[in-house]
Amino acid sequence: MTGTEKKILIIGLVWPEPTSSAAGTRMIQLVDLFLHKGYKITFASAASKSDFSYDFSATGVIEQEIKLNDESFNSFLKELNPAIVMFDRFMVEEQYGWRVQQECPDAFRILDTEDLHCLRSARQHSDKKQTQIDLFSDTAKREIASILRCDLSLIISEVEMKILAVTFKIDSSLLYYLPFLENEITNESITNWVPFEDRADFVFIGNFLHKPNWNTVQVLKTKIWPVLRKKLPGVNLNIYGSYASQKVIQLENKTERFFIKGRAADAQQVISKHKILLAPIQFGAGVKGKFIDAMQVGTPSVTTSIGAEAMKGSLDWNGFIENDLDNFIEKAVLLYQDKAEWSLAQQNGVRIINERYSASHFANQFITTIEKLDLTAHRQQNFIGQILNHHTVQSTKYMSLWIEEKNRK
């Protein structure tokens, strides 16, 4: 792809908010990658903007407001005629994929999964009901169908790559492992980190619209902190996160030194002042941006196997991974008090970022892959996807047209 062919349309579920969530950060990383490679980007969304939506004005990215179930999108698409269309999560592909196929059949269709929604919801249901995890839900049927309809799906977790290949039998040619694209941690940045002696307190951070984060704060409040605070008198636990509801705010208890701080203007800056990130995550999927931020500023963490899932490979963790809550508390105390353990954990984080998330390891290979792919041959090998696209165009199209007609009345 060269010249005018290098046009990409990104259809967002929401306007990205990198200060609110890891999903927002991930999207901006992808936008920056395509910009760096000379692509002309149009970012479109039917969602309303918030005060925290990313400002594209200085980037050259064209913003486009679109409507759900409206033929105006078809006209916009036809005029733009992008070479690539990227859907931000499977729900967006469900809504707009058939229109893209109808108006721009030769456009390369990419699905950015963010994380596997069917995995996250299955784990949440399992945690709530205390039952075995059942991946074969209606959400899975929708998400897997979306993956099959697209030419390539971006997967952020190696664990999810394996689940898709082994459990759902998705051909590897349809999946592409693309983790967070981070700047490497240099010796210069390490010298600017806040030292052990100048740090204090524990921290947790997360977008409260994301149910695993709300659940984690409840675990901290009811099971971790009542014991941990007695072992470390005078130490605080500071909870940061965007979109904190009243039920979150009401958890604050100054006497217990459990503080709800609300949105962090700069997540890394906030985390960098604390000694340890605590994240007893009980369910979820994907890769957790909070740990990336912590490693980037030299803050060790204590989490669970779900929290650290797919993040460290064969390397040692940036702290401790404990599922038993008593052990979790003991390791948090050890890491808080022992500078040698803390420093070792910090260095483990440097290795994880530099060896597993460096943008230089992934960016060029990804762009080369999509630019050199023979789309016709690729689609012929994915006949199940052709079948799904054929039937989806019919079913989704007529449902959408019915809604469109209804909206006119």
19, 84: one domain: yes
Cα 407 from Cα 409, distance rounded (Å): 5
Label residue 390 by pLDDT band (50, 70, 90): confident
Task: Find, among 258, 262, 276, the residue nearest to 345 by Cα.
Answer: 276
Q: Residue 322 and residue 337: Cα distance in Å, rounded?
A: 18
Count of helix runs (H) and strand runs (E) in the chain: 18, 13
pLDDT, residue 393, reads 60
What pLDDT sits at residue 289? Answer: 96
Count other C-beta atoms under 10 Å from residue 376's C-beta. 8
The pLDDT, as a whole number, for residue 395 is 65
371/351 same-domain check? no
Average pLDDT (336-353) is: 98
| Residue 409: band (very low, low, confident or very high) from pLDDT cuts 50, 70, 90 | low
What is the C-alpha to C-alpha distance for residues 96 and 273, in angstroms, rounded to an integer?
43
212 and 121 housed in the same domain: no
Q: Where do we find the tokens 């064969």?
A: 314
Shared domain for 167 and 221, answered yes or no, is: no
The string of pLDDT tens digits covering residues 173-211 is 999 999 999 999 999 999 999 999 999 999 999 999 999
Please indicate, yes or no, whether residues 27 and 168 belong to a single structural domain of this protein: yes
State whether the Cα torsion 62-43-399-381 is positive or negative. Answer: positive
On whether the CB atoms of residues 210 and 21 are closer than 8 A, the answer is yes
Q: Are residues 117 and 44 in the same domain?
A: yes
Q: How far apart are CA 311 and CA 321, in angstroms?
A: 12
Above 80 in pLDDT, residue 403?
Answer: no
Q: pLDDT at position 391, please?
A: 77
Contact assessment for residue 287 and residue 157, using Cβ atoms and an 8 Å cutoff: yes
Helices 22-36 & 289-296, crossing angle to 10 degrees?
Answer: 70
Query: Coil, strand, or helix at residue 330?
Result: helix
Same-domain status, 172 and 206 = no
> Which of 356, 371, 392 is at the close of a domain?
356
User: What is the chain's mean pLDDT, rounded?
Assistant: 95
Separation CA 165–CA 253 (nearest Å): 46
Whichever domain contains 299, its CATH number is: 3.40.50.2000
Q: Is the pTM value of this prediction over 0.75?
A: yes
Residue 407 reports pLDDT greater than 80: no
Question: Could you list the residue range(s) of the whole structural domain that residue 67 is in?
Answer: 3-182+359-408
Q: Are residues 348 and 364 in the same domain?
A: no
Separation in Å, CA 350 to CA 296, 297, 305, 354: 7, 9, 20, 6
How confident is the model over 94-127, as pLDDT tens digits?
999 999 999 999 999 999 999 999 999 999 999 9
CB neighbour burial string for 388-404, b if at least 16 within 10 angstroms, e if fewer? bbeebbeebeeebeeee
**CA Rg value for the chain:** 22
What is the tens place of the pLDDT at every residue in 138-170?
Answer: 999 999 999 999 999 999 999 999 999 999 999
Last residue of a domain, one of 316, 340, 356: 356
Query: What is the SS3 assignment for 84?
Result: strand
Q: What is the pLDDT of residues 45-102, one digit of tens each?
A: 999 999 999 999 999 999 999 999 899 999 999 999 999 999 999 999 999 999 999 9
- Give the pLDDT score at 2: 43
Q: Are residues 276 and 386 in the same domain?
A: no
Kind plus residue range of the DSSP H or E element containing 35: helix 22-36
Shared domain check, 332 and 283: yes
For the chain, give the number of residues.
409
Residue 3 has pLDDT above 50, yes or no: no
| Cα separations in angstroms, 199 against 12, 276, 280 | 38, 9, 21
Q: What is the pLDDT of residue 408?
A: 73
Query: Distance (Å, rounded) from C-alpha 267 to C-alpha 20?
Result: 9
pLDDT higher than 50, residue 327: yes
pLDDT at 4 over 60: no
Assess whether pLDDT exceeds 60 at residue 16: yes
Residues 303 and 365 in one domain: no
At 250-259, the pLDDT tens digits run 999 999 999 9
Say what the pLDDT of residue 396 is: 65
Whose CA is closest to 374, among 162, 56, 108?
108
Structure tokens at 79: 């005029």
pLDDT at 365 exceeding the cut of 60: yes
Distances (CA, A) of 290 to 240, 311, 345, 352: 11, 12, 16, 14
Q: How many domains does the chain have?
A: 2
88 & 99 share domain: yes
* Domain-ending residue, one of 328, 356, 384: 356
In 34-50, which positions are buried (b, 16+ CB within 10 angstroms) versus exposed (e)? beebebbbbbbbbeeee
Res. 282 pLDDT band, cuts 50 70 90: very high
Report helix, strand or coil for 277: strand
Distance CA 229, CA 223 (A): 11
Question: Do 15 and 49 meet the contact criterion of CB atoms below 8 Å apart?
Answer: yes
Residue 266 has pLDDT above 70, yes or no: yes
If you average pLDDT over residues 380-403, what whole number do you get?
A: 78
Q: What percent of the chain has pLDDT over 70?
A: 96
- Whether the CB-CB separation of 319 and 345 falls below 8 Å is answered with yes
Question: pLDDT of 213-232, one tens digit each?
Answer: 999 999 999 999 999 999 99
